[in-house]
Chain A
Amino acid sequence: MLWEAFKLALLSVRRNVLRSILTLLGIVIGVGAVIAMVTIGNGTTQRVTEDLSKLGSNLLIVQPGRNTFGPGGAGQENRSFDDRTLAKLRAELTGVRAIAPSATRAATLIYGALNFATTVTGTDSEFFAAQDWSFAQGRPFTDGEVKSGSAVCIIGKSVEDALFTPDSGLGKRMRVGTISCDVIGVLASKGQGAFGNDQDNTVVMPLRTYQRRLAGNTRIPTIYISAATAEDIPAVTASTEQILREVRRVGPDKDDTFTVRDMSQIISTMTSTSTLLTGLLSAVAGVSLLVGGIGIMNIMLVSVTERTREIGIRLAIGALERQVLTQFLVEALVLALLGGVIGIMLGLALAGAAGYFLAIPFAPSLSIIVLAFLFSGAIGLGFGFFPARRAARLDPIEALRHE
């Protein structure tokens, strides 16, 4: 009986192709929008996660101030870290792979007749381990170079390409801002970063060299800590906070004067904007689905009126109310599911196209697809019930007389 009803429903949809498709537009658009935005959202999250993990594995970022993403307190509260802080962290932290200080500023590079704008980072040898950099050529700093503040630097791939093509940059001497330094290494390429920045456009030099000759101060604005494993992150975070409270003399009833963040927090911050957008679009999709449901109810009512005589015949030859109800419910269900399937395909196509142009991965979620399919079915049943019940309750005598 269900199978018969299903076949009949398909037949009925096929007989009214144009009408059926127009009816389904609401559901198609609603489902399509949901699928497209969820798929694009997934792709974005995946992309951001991948990009951020390029920064380094199990990385903690320690910065002064309560929350560098919001308005921070002024003055003393926000003072930078110094060598003493770094030394204490290195002495006391366990479960850590690398600890690196970092200070950065923009600078112009000059080599021969060429110049190039870049970002200079002052740090030490552990920086490369903390941020998962590997060397294409050359070597990291020696301890002697770090301690004495030698004029040596390591350049990213983009810098080498811009200044030294077709030669290698290794062994060349270039100007970094006001100083000149020898290139002792070239980093392997990492590609684009999470913010669309070019991670390879960078110059790294010993912290002391940076502080003395470029910055003119001894501040360390950022410390990178790479935990040994992901499981170590909470413990490392906790001990880092404790050590910093001690070093910075934060009273027991005072808030931290620094922030320790790991990548998962940064990812959630970055994806929260897309969550807001998703919510907004969901509302639009919801309205569209509601309109789609009403469309189905409308077309089913038309169908019941058109087929009153047919219903009369079915009732006269012994169809039960329940059987007529089932027939029309199945028809509404098939109609809605058809809309759902078209919507899912449309949404995936949209997400695929958007992914292609925005360079984000195509990340369809099976659970959302299944959910959208079931939900469109539920809309069909929900909005199809009233017309189906009207059909089932027709008086066979009246229905048979209907023209």
Chain B
Amino acid sequence: MTKLQPFIAFEKVQKIYGEGAGRVKALAGVDLAIERGEFLAIMGPSGSGKSTAMNILGCLDKPTAGRYLFGGADVTALSRDQRALLRRNFLGFVFQGYNLLARTTAVENIELPLVYRGTPRHERHERAIEALRLVGLEGREHHTPAQLSGGQQQRVAIARAIVTDPLVLLADEPTGNLDTARSHEIMELLTRLNDERGLTIIMVTHEPDMAAFAHRTIRFLDGHIESEHRREAA
């Protein structure tokens, strides 16, 4: 009995924090399948489990029970360093607060994941410049985060996330700190990366406007997936 494995899958994933009376069930047995090249939006009120799901998807955390399959492999029980290697080689992260290193230039920020991969300096620099060009910030190589606007900082963060050519981009409220115009620019950039490079994107947001850019939106509530909505093909 062979079944085509989805690219990313949760099988009855549970995450429980604390013990005894203080026990909190953040995820109560979630099943989820994500296809390669999909653009998925995750919504839900705070405490619904969407951040927990995101942490597990991003291999920053482990499920308490259930299985997490990534590219057909069971990555549920990987060690800390194995998960770090997985993040380094296959995942890219974009955060709400940009999380760039302060007092460090745009190019150096983008090079950072390549430093940990041991990429030679010259190649590292070329790839960082290329990633910066891809997010439309050529000429800002040597600006520090303090010298860039919020939208520009988020573009640098996206460049840092894609410089390693990851399979999946995990974006945690990427437009949370931006105004509407900037937010749309960022969403257009993500859409373009999704279209042109086939990058799988998983994005947490609480703005329906932003979720509308995704192929599919799932909504968490109390540790469950409460609803699922697929956008009609244009």
Contact = CB atoms under 8 A, between A and B. Distances in A.
Contacts of B85: 318, 320
A318 B89 CA distance: 8
Residue of A309, A396, A397 ringed by the most chain B CB atoms within 10 A = A396
B18 to A, nearest CB: 15
Contacts of A397: 55, 60-61
A333 B82 CA distance: 28
Given A1-B115, A310-B101, A321 B81 contact: yes
Contacts of B58: 316
Contact of B84 (A309, A310, A321): A321
Interface in B79-104: 80-81, 84-85, 87-89, 91, 93, 95, 99-101, 103
A184 interface: no
B203 to A, nearest CB: 16
A323 B87 contact: no
A317 interface: yes
A400 interface: yes
Contacts of A323: 116
A84 interface: no
A323 B114 CA distance: 13
B49 to A, nearest CB: 14
Of A318, A323, A397, most B-chain CB atoms within 10 Å: A318
A317 B113 contact: yes
Nearest to B81: A320
B189 interface: no
A400 B99 contact: yes
Grouping DSSP codes into helix (H, G, I), strand (E, B) and loop, the B interface class, with mixed when no group exceeds half, is helix
B112 A317 contact: yes
Contacts of B80: 321
A315 interface: yes
A15 interface: yes
A314 B84 CA distance: 10
B103 A313 contact: no
A231 B55 CA distance: 81
B81 A318 contact: no
B95 A400 contact: yes
A318 B116 contact: yes
B88 A317 contact: yes
Contacts of A255: none
A319 interface: yes
A92 interface: no
A167 interface: no
Contacts of B161: 317
Interface in A163-195: none
Nearest to B80: A321
Contacts of A4: 115
B112 A314 contact: yes
A313 B99 CA distance: 7
Given A317-B93, A318-B87, A397-B55, A309 B112 contact: no
B118 interface: yes
B67 interface: no
Interface string A1-27: 100100000000001000000000000
Interface string A318-351: 1111110000000000000000000000000000
Contact of A318 (B61, B84, B101): B84
Interface string B108-120: 0000110111100
A318 B113 contact: yes
A194 to B, nearest CB: 60
B153 to A, nearest CB: 13
Interface centre among B58, B84, B160 (most CB of A within 10 A): B84
Given A315-B84, A317-B87, A309 B60 contact: no
B158 to A, nearest CB: 13
Contacts of B95: 400
Contacts of B87: 316-318
Contacts of B93: 316-317
Interface string A127-145: 0000000000000000000
21 contacts: A1-B115, A4-B115, A309-B99, A314-B116, A316-B58, A317-B87, A317-B93, A317-B160, A317-B161, A318-B85, A318-B87, A318-B88, A318-B89, A318-B117, A318-B164, A319-B84, A320-B81, A320-B116, A321-B81, A323-B116, A397-B61
Interface of A: 1, 4, 15, 309-310, 312-323, 396-397, 400
The 8 closest A-B pairs by CB, nearest first: A318-B88, A317-B113, A318-B87, A319-B116, A313-B99, A396-B60, A320-B81, A320-B84
